[in-house]
Chains A and B, each alone.
Chain A
Amino acid sequence: MSTTTPAAPARRWPAVPGPLRTGAGFALAAVVLFAVAPAVLSDFRLGLLGKFLCFAIVAAGIGLAWGRGGMLTLGQGLFFGMGAYVMAMHLKLADAQVRGDAVPDFMSIAGVRDVPGWWQPFASPVVTLLVVLLAPGAVAVLLGLMVFKRRVKGAYFAILSQALAAALATWVVGQQMLGGSNGLNRFRTFFGFDLSDPANRRLLFFIAAGTLLVVVAVVRQLMRSRYGELLVAVRDQEERVRFLGYDPANVKVVAYTVAATFAGIAGALFVPLVGIISPSDVGIVPSISFLIGVAIGGRDTLLGPVLGAIGIAWAESSLSESFPSAWVYAQGALFIVVVGFLPGGLASLGGVLRRRGRPAERVPHEEPDEPASVRTTEPEKEPVA
């Protein structure tokens, strides 16, 4: 975290567009998501896109915490899973209520007669929504304060956050009341709306799209604010920020909490859209996989993480349908190539190519005097060597 910056510092500000470009961007995105996508895509494809949008919401948070704040959040599956399982529990209870059963279907198969006490609160939609919105953030505040106040950072933080996602997945596998390793699935209604109705599924997609736009707007405001500058400062020179009188821990906790809240919301949307949540959606591998789209798109830009996540999820679903093993190779290769050799992501590709492709043009602009002096001294040196 205190090491060198991940991306070229010279082109940081264009990463966050100004008011005019932002307004145009939002208008364009709204048209694409609310008018073009439903018109062009089949119901099935639209559902898939909705799932990708959930990943994009997680990615927007990771972009803030990791790209701007330097915190490698390897455990977003924890928060994603919290939101998802809470929503799934509510949907199961609501389904049981609709059918007039005492317990959700999978429980009655297991021979359970009464709903466990810790499920009870989630029968209420209000409680469910409040928990989805607040619980991941609350956990993140607690964890963040514990970790960052003690100046645990860098690799330690990454490994701890990863361990927490692993812990959630391990715990859920052992919980028969959460469906164990099969997870919770077969949801019939969503807050009273029948999920088998295409019109309602489309509505669900619109909710996801609207949420994504709100999330991007929040991230943009944060990036452009004084807080956003402070966050970048903490990433690049944490000690210097401390000496200036700020507490870097507080700065980090805010970004971590925002990212966690986004992940929780995304998880809650994921459940009705995809229709299943299982430990394999919240463990270590999915948690790290959230990062690849962020890295590819450009981790410290506003739109890079979002577009990267959508692109990667789309590539995965279309490639892995036909070539499952090829996708794994591609994913591994992307991690190696993009993170290793293009840390700024595709957003920085233009700048990198411009710098590499035209060295002759660059030298006179930046150091007008040097080349001449170098040229005069070189022939003199050669006979000596």
Chain B
Amino acid sequence: MDVVVSQIFTGLSTGSIMLLAATGLVLTFGQMGVINMAHGEFIMAGSYTAYVVQQATASAGASLLISLVLGFLVGGAMGVIIEITLLRHLYHRPLDTLLVTFGVGLVLQQVARDVFGAPAVNVRTPSWLSGSVEVLGAVVPRTRLFILVLALVCLAALAAALQYTALGRRTRAVMQSRDLAESSGISSRRVDLTTFFIGSGLAGVAGVALTLIGSTSSTVGQSYLINAFLVVVAGGLGQLRGALIAAFVLGLLQSFLEYSTTASVAQVLVFVVIVVFLQFRPQGLFSLKTRSLV
């Protein structure tokens, strides 16, 4: 029983990490159709932001809170720069966007290696996050709990913003029908930029949070990226609740498979499950109903 509970928590934790990495993608990939392979490098930028901030501040707790904000801004700023310089020329060629942003990712990784060095760096965990708590007989590290909460908070904040703010309404309008939104006076250009800023900023936040559970190197973002994309694909493009369910289901699946097999076999099986799942629901868990053929 204890084993089951602790596997469930491992799964929820894995799921929350995937969710955190994927939340930004729900916006940029789901909403705008941009396959941003540099998203992983925005995560990395967030991680290094946390590292730099910690070098400058004495208290690990304060630096975490500062870096969460700064990580958002750094990720967002990088997203906006790439959107303005490259992506807006490529909206009609989504597959080429993928390759171009992969190139951006390669460059950013090398920049990180040249600036911070090849060896991985570590960020100290604040004292109020070290140690673990016991939940239902399972020992859960506080950092993992923090990430779980942070992922849910980010998702909820994003969902609320999309649902209730004027910006959110405009974003949804552009997503549902770009032409109609434009003809109703919405500047889709500005919506694109803001959406991309927020989506990339969330990658930065994910990066900051990930420093709590692992060390930071230039390839940190890449390792989370594929899973994040799969969460978005399985959840349905642009569907926050789809991403939520997909992330936790995949996390739990992986944790239980890992328990009965090995980590690498579990990862492979998760991929296979997703391919089979898309057989039955090619559009993912939830999908926006449109009349378009494609």
Q: Which positions in A face B, CB cutoff 8 Å?
A: 1-4, 6, 70, 72, 74, 143, 146-147, 150-152, 154-156, 158-160, 162-164, 166-168, 170-171, 173-175, 238-239, 284, 288, 291-292, 295, 325, 328-329, 331-336, 339-341, 343
Contacts and interface: CB of A to CB of B under 8 A. Distances in A.
B222 A284 contact: yes
A3 B222 contact: no
29 contacts: A2-B294, A3-B92, A3-B93, A72-B95, A74-B98, A143-B275, A147-B275, A150-B279, A151-B282, A154-B94, A155-B94, A155-B95, A155-B98, A156-B233, A158-B98, A159-B233, A163-B230, A168-B268, A174-B262, A174-B264, A239-B293, A288-B102, A325-B114, A328-B110, A331-B106, A332-B107, A333-B103, A335-B100, A336-B107
B288 interface: no
Interface in B45-102: 86, 89-90, 92-96, 98-100, 102
B229 interface: yes
Return the 8 tightest CB-CB contacts between A and B, nearest first: A335-B103, A174-B264, A332-B107, A332-B106, A328-B110, A336-B103, A332-B103, A167-B271
Given A332-B110, A343-B96, A156 B278 contact: yes
Contact of B226 (A70, A150, A163): A163
Contact of A328 (B98, B107, B265): B107
A166 B226 contact: yes
A281 to B, nearest CB: 17
A143 to B, nearest CB: 8
A340 B102 contact: no
Contacts of B106: 328, 331-332, 335
Contacts of B35: 155, 158-159
Contacts of A159: 35, 226, 229-230, 233
B103 A170 contact: no
Given A72-B95, A155-B33, A339-B103, A160 B86 contact: no
Given A152-B282, A160-B233, A164-B275, 4 more contacts: A74-B98, A154-B94, A288-B99, A335-B99
Contacts of A4: 92-93
Nearest to A331: B106
Contact of A146 (B92, B226, B275, B294): B275
Interface in B245-294: 262-265, 267-268, 271-272, 274-275, 278-279, 282, 293-294
B264 A146 contact: no
B98 A163 contact: no
Contacts of B31: none
B226 A340 contact: no
Contacts of B100: 335-336, 339-340
Contacts of B294: 2, 238-239
B93 A343 contact: yes
B143 interface: no
> Do most interface residues of chain B lie in helix, strand or loop, or is the interface mixed?
helix
A110 B260 CA distance: 24
Contacts, number: 131
Given A173-B264, A335-B100, A340-B89, A146 B279 contact: yes
A33 B270 CA distance: 44
B113 interface: yes
B271 A163 contact: yes
B266 to A, nearest CB: 9
B22 to A, nearest CB: 12
A151 B279 CA distance: 9
A170 B267 contact: yes
Contacts of B282: 150-152, 156
A335 B103 CA distance: 5
B268 A171 contact: yes
Contact of A329 (B107, B230, B233, B278): B107
B197 interface: no
Nearest to A4: B92
A308 B255 CA distance: 43
A129 to B, nearest CB: 26
A4 B93 CA distance: 7
B119 to A, nearest CB: 15
Contacts of B167: none
A155 B29 contact: yes
A318 B150 CA distance: 47
A377 B268 CA distance: 66
A325 B110 CA distance: 7
B158 interface: no
B95 A335 contact: no
